[in-house]
Every structure is written in structure tokens, then in C-alpha cells.
Amino acid sequence: MNPQAHPAAVPISRAHTTSVPADKGIRAAGYLIDVLPGIVIGLFGFIPIIGPMIAGFLLAPYWLLRDVTGASLGKLVLKTKVVRKDLQPASVGARVLRNLPLAIGPAFLIIPLLGYFLGPSITGVIVLIETIFVLTQGERVGDRIAGTTVEGGSCVLLTKKPADILAHLVLPERPVVAALRPPVVQMVRDALA
């Protein structure tokens, strides 16, 4: 479609899209989803004597590597991802480093007998500290260490008139509907006026 022929038909791609940090509620919901596989893996801990060690060998890497692809299970479900604080893509190292505090407690489970008591205690303290930081500061301790945050979607910065963007959403750029676009844009402008 030729934008000069229909100046009102400006593609939405000319509007600027920016990322925004995820809100605290979304982050909490993502964490709760991430806990579900941890609970299933943690069931190994009920096997006498070697169960906690098996759970530790499985849980420590799970928590450490859960964001290695940029999004854990909870983040995939909620369409969020780990990024640097400047909202650029985070490196794999930063995505792993941010989860180090969460992997410390499960790693203690690997210690025979003593880990059975240390692992859950340390995990509880770390999760409590991380929760307090998220609720009060908007970021986890791991995010501070790694210089990361969680991106929660995007918003469009309107550099064009809202009617142009609405018309683009209602009438995609197809030759059949291109002729309809200017009258629809005018109707939307009249309705917004």
C-alpha cells in the first residue's frame, strides 16, 4: 500500500514500541507457577536417607537454570522474560546469576543428613528475603546481583493520531480494504472528536 496515496493510512510500525518492567503481581504469579515443578521434584525428598540428596541434585540445577532461555515456565505462561535493567536482552550468564540465591538452599540438600535440616531452613530464609525485596523494591536480590529485571510486555508510544492506529488495527493493509481505510479513519476521528 502506498502511504502517499492515503496519508491517513500510516502503518502502526511507525509508532514506537517500548518494553515495560513486569508488575509485582505478575512476577509473584510467575514465581508460583515456577514453584509447581519444584514441588514435584521435591517429592524425592521423602525417600528415606538418599531422597533429600536426590532432591538437591535435581532442585539446585532447576532453580539455577530456570531462566537460561530467557523465560522460566511461569514467565512463558505470563508472557514475560528476563532482560537487563536497560530492557535490552540479558546474557545467559546474567540469567543464571540472577537465580543463584534461589539455588543455594536446594544445593545444601546434597549434604548427607545435615542437608536435610539446612536445605529447607536456608531456602525459607532466602525466599522470604527475595519476597520482601520484590514487594518493597520491585526487584529480587538476584536481579540486583545480575543487573536484570523482568519485562512484562510492551506499550505503544503514540507518535501518530489514535485514529490512524485504530484504523490499522481494524483494517489491516490488504488491497481489498485499502480503499475503505480513509473513510474509516475519518469516522474514528469524528467519533473521538
Domain check: are 173 and 129 in the same one? no
- Give the number of domains in the chain: 2
Q: Is the dihedral of CA 62, 67, 73, 74 positive or negative?
A: positive
Q: Which pLDDT value is given to residue 154?
A: 47
Separation in Å, CA 143 to CA 38, 53, 67:
20, 28, 12
Is 68 inside any structural domain? yes
Is 8 inside any structural domain? no
Is 13 inside any structural domain? no
Domain check: are 35 and 103 in the same one? yes
**Confidence class of residue 175 from pLDDT cuts 50, 70 and 90?**
very low
Domain check: are 172 and 97 in the same one? no
Find the largest Cα–Cα distance for the chain: 77
Is 9 inside any structural domain? no
Please state the rounded mean pLDDT for residues 151-157. 59
H helix intervals, the chain: 24-42, 51-65, 73-78, 92-97, 100-108, 114-137, 141-146, 162-170, 175-178, 181-192
Domain check: are 42 and 82 in the same one? yes
Q: Tell me the pLDDT tens digit for each residue of 117-128.
A: 999 999 999 999
Whether 37 contacts 55, CB under 8 Å: no
Is 12 inside any structural domain? no
Domain check: are 183 and 126 in the same one? no
Q: Which domain holds residue 130?
A: 19-154
- State how far the Cα of 147 lies from the Cα of 72, in Å rounded to an integer: 18
Domain check: are 55 and 127 in the same one? yes
* Lowest mean pLDDT segment, chosen from 9-18, 85-94, 98-107, 141-150: 9-18
With a cut of 90, say whether residue 147 has pLDDT above it.
yes
Domain check: are 33 and 125 in the same one? yes
Domain check: are 50 and 126 in the same one? yes
Is 110 inside any structural domain? yes
Q: Tell me the pLDDT tens digit for each residue of 92-119.
A: 999 999 999 999 999 999 999 899 999 9
Is 6 inside any structural domain? no
- Give percent of the chain above pLDDT 70: 69
Residues sharing a CB contact under 8 Å with residue 30, sequence separation 6 or more, in sequence order: 22, 72, 74, 75, 77, 78, 80, 150
Domain check: are 82 and 29 in the same one? yes
Domain check: are 120 and 187 in the same one? no
Is 188 inside any structural domain? yes
Separation in Å, CA 164 to CA 2, 7, 11, 167, 189:
15, 10, 8, 5, 9
Domain check: are 110 and 128 in the same one? yes
